[in-house]
Amino acid sequence: MTGPLRERERAHALLAAEAERARAGGGRFVLLRGATGTGRSAMLEAAVAHAAGRGLRVLRVRCSPEDTAEPFSSVLQLLGPVPESADLTPGPDDRGSAARLWRMLRAYAERSPVLVAVDDIHLADDSSRRWFVEAARRVDRLPVLVVATERSQYDIDQRPAGLTHTLSPSLVRTHTLAPLTDDAAAGLVRTAFPAAPDDWTADCVRAGAGNPLLLHALLDDLRDTPPPAPVPRTCAALYPGSYPAAVSWWLETAGPATTETARTLATLERADRDRPEAPHRTAAASLAATAALLADATGADPARVAGWLTAMTRLGLLRADARGRPRYAHPLLRDAVLAGWPAARRRAAHLAVAEAMLRRGGRVDGVARQLLGSGPAGPPWVLRVLRDAVAAAVREGRPDDAVGYLRRALSEPLPDDLRQRLLTELGSLEYASADAPAGIPRLTEALDLPAGPRDRVRTALALGTALAGRGEVRAAVEVLRALEDRLTGHPDLLGTVRTASALLSDQDQTVRREAYHRLTDTARRSPELVGATGQALLVRYAATAGASSARAAMARLRALLTEPAEPFAEPFLLGTTAAVAQWADELDEAERLVERGLAGQRPSLLHPMQRALHNVRLDIAAARGEYARLLTDPGPPTPTGGPTNADAHTLLALVETGRTAQARQLAARFDLRDAPDSWELNRFLYARGTLRLAEGDTAGALHDFLECGRRQSARDVLSPVVTPWRTAAAHCRLALGSPRDALALAEEELRLARVWDTPRTVGRALRVLARATGGRPGLDLAEEAVALLRDSPADAELIAALLTRGRLLSATGDRSRARESLREAAERAERLGAVRLRSRAEEALRAGGARRTATAHTGAASLTGSERRIAELAATGRSNTEIADLLHVARRTVETHLTSTYRKLGIRRRGELGEALRGEDQGLSPG
């Protein structure tokens, strides 16, 4: 060990004083105690150098366990060459040999003061130890200073009592060498590396753990890789390896039981690092729990293990983590402790810890983490624990953990049917996580294993979903079709497979046309082979093709929902109905169906409807104008790299909330020329067109809208329920001076909208047709649009219609009504957070001569006196009729005022009035 001694001033002072005492003729026995690596030998060397400089004769010995076979071996080495006349041959009479050796020491002392330096006296042979004890009783009468070092460290196996316990305190001066403080250790680091930054120095201090031996060894290893290279976390990065050698020496001196416990603790810690916090415990409780677990795993005495953990924490080798658990002071120290263990022994330790945790009622996740490091072919409980841990990890949203547990489970010997199920689950999770490329080979392997019909269908659905997600739509459909011949005796499963084929084909227009034609032919010839789910998909297909009304579609779907459904098929039925319900403006019903469908999904298994249900949820939020939700919900991921439905909604939400710069950045992320064909690409084209239009690039916007329409028409998607590209294109045509083309597009949109016949689609089409028509006829169309959209849950569409009506009223000279319409549009846009629409409304107000006002459009401050009185009465539970009688107004007036109040307060139901009004009265925002 090299380098200066730190924080040893008291020891230096003690030894210097005792050396002077010896020179004056008085002897003393001084015992330097300390744990391994605390610098006992270095301190003894310093004492030797000082004594020699003061004229003392130095006699020294370093005791070793190899010398214990010969009596008085340590004393004989100490005293040096023995005169031939002295009979010191050990015999049966140790007392006589001891006396002769004592006379020899006296002979030395008669010539000059003597320093007797004994290193590691605890390793001396028994005869020598007895001699040194006797010397301590007699040395005060000679000019002799005896300085001995003794290891004093708490180990699992108790060692024989040291000299401190053998001698009276009056006969020996004992000094215990404490670990280095962080400041002293940092001083050593800066001496070796003066330019080291503070964080690098602190890292070295933690790895040195207050132990001079370890710290000096680490600094020696780091000389070839000084800062700014980081302090390594593993011993493999150290050269020449002084640090791991020093740790091995520390373990060797501690004995096999301590070494076993130390390495088992490192095993426990390595598997448990970087994990979520467990329920809070006190530091004492955490230490006791760790001690009990280690004792159980190693078979050691729990009390001794607890004492060892406490002692090592006091020494600085262990530190309590945030949960109070004793852990190694640095990852490098933990790795060095494990470095001497063969891989097989580590695996056995992991299994032992896992079994101990299981016996002690540990959390299944913690047990499973230990099993990740154990070897295969473990006891039967291993597989059970791993599967339980998979379920818990999936439930808690930790797919990466679940993947690790499944991979470990598959290393066990398994029957084919269980291996098939686990492979399906693993492939599904790998595909859904960052390791998407690994998922498809796993699922392919699972599909080739023997399995029952239901398991085979489950695997085929997962594999088909994964392939379609990567843009391999035809391969996905072929996987499912290849399974049909094996399901002839299972019509429900066969119908599910055919439904899934049609659903997955949505990503490719050519495959989609083939799949739906096939499904239609099968339904016509053998309706029982497509089942309720296939019939539901055909209803959806008719809705998008412009061949069905919303009322007829929902009636048919509600009837299908009442029919018994195969569990595999139910998600298809729920998701399809939810999508159509969203188009039909039944948003609450759609949301209930989505939640029901998602609740029935197994997150650990790929299913075509998982993605579809998430997308419907995004569509519902968009229909309601919930821009904040759209901007925070990333939607289901896709590994194809092309834009998703979530990207399209995010882009539209950014435009509507006035964040065009961010919208531009999002649009620039995708090169649509290379994107695979899908309905999601068409949605994104529509969204990008909206962005271009908002930025004034009308020609670019028109290109995107028309391209979206071309692609949608090629997929037989003609109805405006999905993407109203015609109304958007008509707006562009008007702006570019082509009113006739705009009128044609708007009329076609209205024709298709009236087929579907919902307020949202018809109102939107009427609004654009009103702009294209203009004049009094256009104003009549706008009035009809506003009236229709007041019954729609799509506030953004109503705001746009109010804007159109306001502009047309201004054009006809009715400025009073125009301002009323535009102000309502501004109020609603403010409540919705639709910055773009609000700006357009306020611009139109200014253009119409309205004065700017600071009056709030929303909140309690915006309520009129009448609205406030009616709201307060309604909040007390009075009905609309009772309120009308009390205030002597028409019931319709009460309804109108309440509708306005709901909008301004940002609420939807009468039951929310009281809380909203109370919050405003207390200075709180109801939103």
Residues 544 and 563: their CA atoms lie apart, in Å, by 24
Pairing between β-strand 173-176 and β-strand 28-34 as defined by DSSP bridges: parallel
Instruction: Provide the β-strand partners of residue 57.
Output: 114
**398-404 average pLDDT score:** 92
Confidence (pLDDT) at 530? 83
pLDDT (tens digit, 9 = 90+) per residue, 440-493?
A: 999 999 999 999 999 999 999 999 999 988 889 999 999 999 998 888 888 888
Class of residue 190 by CB neighbours under 10 A (exposed 0-12, middle 13-18, buried 19+): middle
With a cut of 60, say whether residue 280 has pLDDT above it.
Answer: no
Quick check: 875 pLDDT over 90?
no
106 sits in which H/E element: helix 94-111
* CA count, 13 A, side-chain hemisphere, 386: 25
| Burial zone of 198 (CB within 10 Å; 0-12 exposed, 13-18 middle, 19+ buried) | exposed
The mean of the pLDDT values for the chain is 89
Q: pLDDT (tens digit, 9 = 90+) per residue, 354-385? A: 999 999 999 999 999 999 999 898 899 999 99
266 vs 867, higher pLDDT: 266
Is 68 a residue whose pLDDT tops 60? yes
Give the range among 87-91, 117-121, 682-686, 913-917 with minimum mean pLDDT: 87-91
Query: Could you give phi then psi for residue 673, rounded to 5 degrees?
Result: -70, -30
- In this prediction, residue 788 has a pLDDT band, given cuts at 50, 70 and 90, of very high
Proportion of the chain above pLDDT 70, given as a percent: 94
Could you tell me the two tokens for 492?
Answer: 């429900």
pLDDT at 926: 31
161 confidence band (pLDDT: 50, 70, 90): confident
Residue 75 has a pLDDT of 94
Q: What is the rounded CA–CA span in Å between residue 332 and residue 61?
A: 35
For 191-227, the pLDDT digits (tens) are 999 999 999 999 999 999 999 999 999 999 999 899 9
DSSP letters along 387-402, please? HHHHHHHHHTT-HHHH
Q: How confident is the model at residue 927 (pLDDT cuts 50, 70, 90)?
A: very low
Q: SS3 for 373?
A: coil
Instruction: State how far the alpha carbon of 778 is from the alpha carbons of 379, 399, 764, 807, in Å.
Output: 80, 56, 13, 11
Question: For residue 925, what pLDDT is reported?
Answer: 32
> Would you state the pLDDT for residue 233?
95
The pLDDT, as a whole number, for residue 1 is 39
Q: Are 770 and 804 in contact (CB under 8 A)?
A: yes
For the residues 650-673, what does the mean pLDDT come to?
A: 93
pTM: 0.76
- Return the closest-CA partner of residue 61 out of 82, 39, 43, 76: 76
pLDDT average, residue stretch 480-507: 88
pLDDT at 854: 42
pLDDT at 608 over 50: yes
3-state SS of 758-789 is: CHHHHHHHHHHHHHHHCHHHHHHHHHHHHHHH
